């Protein structure tokens, strides 16, 4: 059975078809990323009557940088329009509103897995395991279609582990075809690291902490960036051509330039300057 998410079209946030779930379900802590404290389940004061952010165009200037680096991978509209059948959380039953806030993070995790599996299927090097990847994609999509009660009872960590094994195999196959050194920096603590011009072709950077690291002009072609923390990472003039498992939220959290070369799966953040 084919679903809308298989080609990736349902894996992008569609705020027009969502009841502002990320602005309700998720907690904020006053910090450099958020100007206020907000507990989970309570509406952000910036959320309008139309379920849209009232300061979306000036989030960074207003102290809500954290919102600009978040993506629900399409979970918002899935929960709003499918799981709850388009029932407005403000005018519907109070129990529905509570369940929406609790179900949304679950579906968001599943949609993130769908995003990774979809990208894995687009990698020619992973062809030997495309059958397994398709099966995992179909199973994950089936899980997103469960009822609210079924979703709340779902063992998401166990499913993530199963999918992660396939993503690891995908990474090994994809990076094996990259010329040059294959550095293993998986889970490495590289906070503030000086890696200007570094040769990181085909590197395993899964879960690496690269906060405020300087990767200016670095060669990251064919690198695995799944889960890498790129907050304030300097990517000016870096080459990320062919890098995979790089999400838009990761890129939005980094600093880059007009000369940063990117994979086709992401777009250049609007706040990046021409030169850093």
Name the residue among 214, 216, 113, 219 with its Cα closest to residue 170: 113
For residue 274, the model assigns a pLDDT of 45
Confidence of residue 7 (pLDDT cuts 50, 70, 90): low
CA distance 170 to 117: 9
Terminal-residue alpha carbon distance, the chain: 47
- SS3 annotation, the chain: CCCCCCCCCCCCCCHHHCCCCHHHHCCECCCCCCCCCECCCCCCCCECCCCCECCHHHCCCCCCHHHHCCCCCCHHHHHHHHHCCCCCCCCCCHHHHHHHHHHHHHHHHHHHHHHHHHHHHCCHHHHHHHHHHHHHHHHHHHHHCCCHHHHHCCCHHHHHHHHHHHHHHHHHHHHHCCCCCCCECCCCECCCCECCCCECCCCECCCCECCCCECCCCECCCCECCCCECCCCECCCCECCCCECCCHHHHHHCECCCCCECCCCCCCCCCCCCCC
Name the residue among 196, 201, 195, 167 with its Cα closest to residue 183: 201
Q: Using CB atoms within 10 A of its CB, is residue 61 exposed (0-12), middle (13-18) or buried (19+)?
A: exposed
Q: What pTM did the predictor assign?
A: 0.91
For residue 8, the model assigns a pLDDT of 60
Name the residue among 95, 91, 112 with its Cα closest to residue 19: 91
Percent of the chain at pLDDT above 90? Answer: 84
- 124-177 per-position pLDDT tens digit: 999 999 999 999 999 999 999 999 999 999 999 999 999 999 999 999 999 998
Confidence of residue 92 (pLDDT cuts 50, 70, 90): confident
């Amino acid at each position: 059975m084919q679903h809308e998410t298989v080609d990736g079209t349902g894996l992008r946030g569609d705020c027009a078809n969502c009841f502002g779930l990320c602005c309700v379900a998720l907690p904020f802590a006053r910090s450099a990323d958020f100007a206020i404290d907000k507990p989970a389940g309570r509406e952000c004061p910036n959320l309008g009557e139309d379920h849209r952010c009232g300061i979306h165009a000036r989030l960074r200037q207003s102290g809500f940088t954290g919102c600009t680096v978040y993506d629900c991978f399409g979970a918002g509209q899935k929960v709003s329009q499918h799981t709850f059948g388009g029932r407005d959380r403000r005018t519907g039953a109070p129990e529905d509103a509570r369940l929406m806030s609790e179900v949304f993070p679950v579906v968001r995790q599943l949609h993130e897995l769908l995003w990774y599996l979809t990208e894995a299927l687009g990698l020619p090097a992973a062809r030997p395991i495309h059958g397994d990847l398709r099966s995992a994609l179909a199973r994950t999509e089936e899980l997103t279609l469960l009822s609210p009660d079924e979703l709340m009872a779902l063992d998401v960590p166990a499913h993530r582990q199963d999918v992660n094994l396939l993503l690891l195999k995908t990474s090994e196959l994809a990076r094996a075809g990259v010329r040059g050194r294959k550095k293993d920096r998986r889970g490495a603590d590289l906070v503030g690291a000086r890696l200007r011009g570094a040769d990181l072709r085909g590197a395993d950077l899964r879960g690496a902490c690269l906060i405020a690291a300087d990767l200016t002009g670095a060669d990251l072609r064919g690198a695995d960036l799944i889960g890498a923390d790129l907050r304030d990472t300097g990517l000016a003039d870096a080459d990320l051509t062919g890098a995979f498992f790089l999400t838009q939220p990761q890129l939005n959290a980094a600093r880059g330039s007009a000369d940063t070369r990117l994979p086709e799966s992401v777009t250049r953040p609007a706040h990046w300057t021409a030169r850093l």
